[in-house]
Structure formats: C-alpha cells, structure tokens
A and B are shown apart, each in its own frame.
Chain A
Amino acid sequence: MPVRPPEPPVDRVPAKAPEQRRPSRLSAPLRETGRLFALAGTVCRETFRRPFQVREFIEQFWFVASVTILPAALVSIPFGAVIALQVGSLTQQLGAQSFTGGASVLAVIQQASPIIVALLVSGAAGSAICADLGSRKIREELDAMEVMGVSPVQRLVVPRVLATMLVAVLLNGLVSVVGTLGGYFFNVIMQDGTPGAYLSSFSALAQLPDLYVSEIKALIFGFIAGIVAAYRGLNPRGGPKGVGDAVNQSVVITFMLLFFVNMVLTAIYLQIVPAKGS
C-alpha cells in the first residue's frame, strides 16, 4: 500500500505565509542602537558572574596596552606642544602670559588626553578586537562555544571590555603627564615663558576634580570603544568582507560616539563643578 504525502507540499506554501511584522527600513538604526545598549547591559551583568576569566583578561590587557602605549606617548608630545603654543600666543596677545601653564594643562588633561587615549584604544585595540571576534563568528567558533554552554559574552567580550577600560584609564595618566611635559618644554624653551609662572598657574586655575573628570572620561571612552568593537565583531554581515566592513564601522561609530559623549560630559562637568576660585 503506497504512502501518501500528508498533503501536496506545494499547495500549502502560499496559503500559510507566517504573519510576521515586516521590519521597516526606518527602524533599522533604532534596532541596532537598542542591541548595542543591550550588549552593554549584558556585559555589565556578566562582569559579575563567576568564574571571572582572569587569564583572558590579562592576555587582552597586555595586548591592548602593548599596541597603544607607544603611539599614545608619541602623539601626546606634539599635541601638548600645539596646545601650549596656541594658548601661549593667545595669552600673550591678551597680556596674561602668567596663566599659560594653567590654561594649557587644563586643555590637555580635560580634553586632549581622554580623546587621544580613546582614539588610540579604539583605532589600535578596538579594530583588532572587532576583527578577532568577527572572524571567530564567521568560522562558527562562537556558535560552537555557545553550544558547549559557554557564553561568548562572558568568556570573550567581558575580559576585552574590561581590558580596554583599564588600559584607557592608565594610559590617560601617561598621556596627561607626557602632554603636560611637552607643553612645558615648548612654552619655556620656544616661547621664553618662565618656568615658575607656568608651574604656579597650575594651582591657580586647575583643581583636583579636573583630574578626576579626565579619568572618568577615559574610563567611559574605554568602555564605549570596547563595547562598540565587540558589538560590530559579534554581528558581521556575511563572510570575510563583512568582517572588514565591521572593523571599519566599529572605528567610525566609536569616534562619533566619543565626540558626542565628550561634549555631554564636558557640559555636565562645567555645570556641576564650580571653576576654581569662583
């Protein structure tokens, strides 16, 4: 006795097309943003889940630090010098040379240093993290990991994000020092500023919260760089070319976010922390 098919398969197809809500083109960016925030939330939660991946964290920390320290130091010298020269010539016109030191140091510590750090962490380390995760994704390694009951976010993303954050904070100290020294050197040697006035204006204009906000910015920027790199790396669009595009996008998205977040943070800081002496 022949076995009949339950129904001719061909007829059934158009009759019962699943009634899914069609995602509109407009909501795509919103969805991406939402998923980025969801990943950030997951990373925060998984950070506190045992076992913490110490080994992976140390390896990643070492890697991020090794690719960013030298470029950061080299970039910060001319950057500090440019700010010192510009501020120096401006204050000279205004007749306020004695405040050159304080003004340039504030600019370096509060603005230039966290931004330089973030650009380097994102450009040098974030791109590598994104490419690494992206190639693992397309080779199904992350799927394999998930199938084995190991969360890729907890195992791979959390150590990387923490590494970028810690490196950003530490590197921010380095860049601040090197940038300030560069500014001092150029002001004193090139513009005939007096060392005493340069140093004493530090304490006249700058205060400790300036240093705190600089480190907080670096911490947040490091987090953003890590999260964006991981997000783009975990969601490459098809094949090796998709990974290349993802790396590219991760750097561009991080840069845009950085400058926006920096603006917000600066505005908030200037509102809530009174300037020195006021």
Chain B
Amino acid sequence: MGIEVVVEGLTKSFGKQNIWQDVSLTLPAGEVSVMLGPSGTGKTVFLKSIIGLLKPEQGRVLVNGVDMVNGSERDIMEARKLFGLMFQDGALFGSMSLFDNIAFPLREHTRKKESEIRRIVMERIDVVGLLGAEDKLPGEISGGMRKRAGLARALVLDPQIILCDEPDSGLDPVRTAFISQLLVDLNAQIDATMLIVTHNLDIASTVPDNMGMLFCRNLVTFGPREVLLTSDLPVVNQFLAGRCEGPIGMSEEKDAATLAAEELNGYGQGISSANAPRTVVPQLEPSPGLPVRQGALRRRERVMSMMGQLPEAARTAILNSYSPAAGGGRP
C-alpha cells in the first residue's frame, strides 16, 4: 500500500518572485492525484519540493514521518528510495545505454545478481514498450522514448510514491492514452500513491481520483475529481474548456481592464457552455485481468464520509459514478 503525503503551508519563492504560497493538501495513500495548472505556475517546482530537491521557505512535506523540507539530509536520502520521479524529459544519464540507465537504481540500492537485474529491467522495458531499444544511448532515441525510459527507471525499485512531471508532453494522443492506461494499471498492480502534474485535459479527466489546480500563486482547489470537474470557478471553467476568455491570460494573469470587459460580456460566447453542467467523464479502469484498485476502494469510503462537505454538483456526480447503472463499478 502506498504512503500518504501531507503538504502543509508550503511557500516557495525564487529571489523576490513568489511562486506559490501556503499550499496545503494531502495525497491520500494509494490514490492517483493530478495537479493541473497553466504553464509557469510552478507545477514542476511543487513536484521537486515534495521530493526535497528544492527547499521551500515555509511549510513542510511529511512522508512516512520524514519532513522532506527541513529534515536531516540522511533521512531525506533514505525517504527518497520510496519515490519514483519521472522527469519532464526523462533526465536519463547521457553516457549510459537505456538498459544501464534503468538498471542504475537496482545496482546502487540492491545486491541483486546481474541475471536478476536483467530480468527486472527487461520486464520494465517491456511494460513501457521499449523492447529492442535497450542498447541505445539516450541521445539516439526520440523524446517520447526518453520519457518512457524515464518512467521505466522510476518504476524499477517498486516505489511507494510515483511522481510524474507532464507524462504527456511530447507524446502523440495515442501514446498519451496508452500512458494514461499504463499509469492506472500500475496503480492497480503496486498500489502506489501517484501525483501527476500535467495540463493535458484527457489525462486530467480520466486518470485521477483527486484533482487540484495551481493558479496565480495559490492552490485553487484540491479534492475528489468530481469537485474540480463540476466546479464553476472562472479559472477552472476556462482551463477545462481551453478558452481565451477568463482570468488566465498569456502571461498568467490578465489585467483588470480586460477582465472587467470580459465579465460584462459574460465571459464571451463561452457563457452558455459555462453555465451548463459539464459531464464528468468516467474514470479509466485497470485493464482486464488486473486486480481491483485498492486505492479506489479506499477512496470510495473516504469520499462517502466527506459527502456532506462537498458542493451539490460534485455530490451528484459522485453518486452517479458509484451507482451501478452509470457503469462506474467494475463488472
């Protein structure tokens, strides 16, 4: 079972520039969470802060009792073995072949025999569909392949927490769909806590149990996916619809005058669709033959118990998804 990640009051600045402040959320154990946000809102910074690569000025991140922000270097190093992080461009070691790259964590942290390492690595390479490319250098393969190799390397130690930095960027829609399915299948198999940072709406609407959104130096919301998917916040509306009209501008925020003008027009032509309740796409299920996601079962209980605090629209969506008629449950 995965490990819960608790983030409390995290604030990060680079010099005078504040990236985000007072971010508090909990990634429930074994569930898949997605962090949305326009480009440049510090999603990657957030990911790196969770794993302790960047040190926020305030707040803490608790993983298994270790504070990844202010804890001792030794504890943090130890806690990192629980993580698998997939970097935006793979971050493979340029001087090693794909096989050696993926075998690196095994060789560093385990005393497995070379034959066993080979078996595990080839298995992971098969999972991400890179069979036949294991002897290539990272410079010789495409960006999408590098990304998948990076995922394989993140998975090789059977991590309890998997962080994915934009798993979709540089991939075609079909491969993105495969990655989505792969992430869900993985969650079913190893029951790891997952956090995916992305601005891909397909992944965001089908993969996660929980969703959050960063915008304008703040965490806009974080909670069960239905809350964000049915939310009528202007920011969320604009983002999910991919429109120009709304608070998000080209350089993060729009100036007040433009915003006021748009508001007069009711956010342009998008008003009709904005008021209509968005349909919540059903969540992806693990491939046939895989076990039921334990995280999904735990989430069901958790969400049911917090039903009272959720807004009306989200409540309806959740009930719909859990009623057998809607096809939410597994057959």
Chain A interface residues toward B at CB < 8 A: 1-3, 5-6, 9-10, 12-13, 16-18, 20, 135-136, 139-141, 143-151, 155
Interface string of B5-48 (1 = CB under 8 A from A): 00000010100001001100000000000000000000000001
Interface string of B128-158 (1 = CB under 8 A from A): 0000000000000000000000000100010
B residues in contact with A2, CB < 8 Å: 232, 311
How many A-B pairs with Cβ below 8 Å?
A: 90
Of A5, A20, A141, the residue contacting B233 (CB under 8 A) is A5
Interface string of B76-108 (1 = CB under 8 A from A): 011011010101010111100000000011001
* Of B185-193, B215-223, B298-306, the one with at least 4 CB within 8 A of chain A: B215-223
- Given known A-B contacts A3-B232, A9-B215, A144 and B85 have beta carbons under 8 A apart: yes
A141–B311 CB distance below 8 A: no
Say if the beta carbon of B3 comes within 8 Å of chain A. no
B residues in contact with A13, CB < 8 Å: 18, 21, 216-217
A residues in contact with B87, CB < 8 Å: 140, 143-144
Closest to A42 in B: B73
A148–B104 CB distance below 8 A: yes
A residues in contact with B216, CB < 8 Å: 9-10, 13
Of B58, B108, B157, the residue contacting A18 (CB under 8 A) is B58
- Shortest distance from the beta carbon of B319 to any chain A beta carbon, whole Å: 15
Say if the beta carbon of B57 comes within 8 Å of chain A. yes
24 A-B pairs within 8 Å (CB atoms) are namely A5-B220, A5-B221, A9-B216, A9-B217, A10-B216, A10-B253, A16-B21, A18-B21, A18-B57, A20-B13, A20-B57, A135-B94, A136-B94, A140-B89, A140-B91, A141-B94, A144-B85, A144-B93, A146-B53, A147-B80, A148-B80, A148-B104, A149-B77, A151-B77
B105–A148 CB distance below 8 A: yes
Report the bound CA distance from A24 to B218 in whole Å.
29
B residues in contact with A1, CB < 8 Å: 311-313
Known: A9-B220, A149-B81. 4 other contacts (CB 8 A): A5-B233, A143-B87, A147-B51, A151-B77
B residues in contact with A18, CB < 8 Å: 11, 13, 18, 21, 57-58
Say if the beta carbon of B70 comes within 8 Å of chain A. no
Report the bound CA distance from A163 to B183 in whole Å.
43
Of B11, B57, B311, the residue contacting A3 (CB under 8 A) is B311
Of A3, A5, A12, A148, the residue contacting B108 (CB under 8 A) is A148
Say if the beta carbon of B231 comes within 8 Å of chain A. yes
B residues in contact with A151, CB < 8 Å: 77
- Shortest distance from the beta carbon of B61 to any chain A beta carbon, whole Å: 14
A149–B57 CB distance below 8 A: no
- Shortest distance from the beta carbon of B256 to any chain A beta carbon, whole Å: 9
B91–A149 CB distance below 8 A: no
B91–A141 CB distance below 8 A: yes
- Shortest distance from the beta carbon of A149 to any chain B beta carbon, whole Å: 4
Closest to A14 in B: B18
Interface centre among A5, A20, A151 (most CB of B within 10 A): A5
Report the bound CA distance from A244 to B81 in whole Å.
33
A residues in contact with B119, CB < 8 Å: none
A149–B109 CB distance below 8 A: yes
- Given known A-B contacts A2-B311, A13-B18, A141-B94, A147 and B218 have beta carbons under 8 A apart: no
Say if the beta carbon of B63 comes within 8 Å of chain A. no
Say if the beta carbon of B207 comes within 8 Å of chain A. no
B91–A143 CB distance below 8 A: yes
Say if the beta carbon of B227 comes within 8 Å of chain A. yes
Closest to B93 in A: A141
B85–A147 CB distance below 8 A: yes
- Shortest distance from the beta carbon of B16 to any chain A beta carbon, whole Å: 8
Closest to B96 in A: A141
Closest to A155 in B: B108
B218–A146 CB distance below 8 A: no
Report the bound CA distance from A149 to B105 in whole Å.
8
Closest to B219 in A: A6
A residues in contact with B53, CB < 8 Å: 143, 146-147
A residues in contact with B58, CB < 8 Å: 18
Report the bound CA distance from A3 to B312 in whole Å.
9
B233–A139 CB distance below 8 A: no
- Shortest distance from the beta carbon of A171 to any chain B beta carbon, whole Å: 26
Report the bound CA distance from A149 to B231 in whole Å.
39
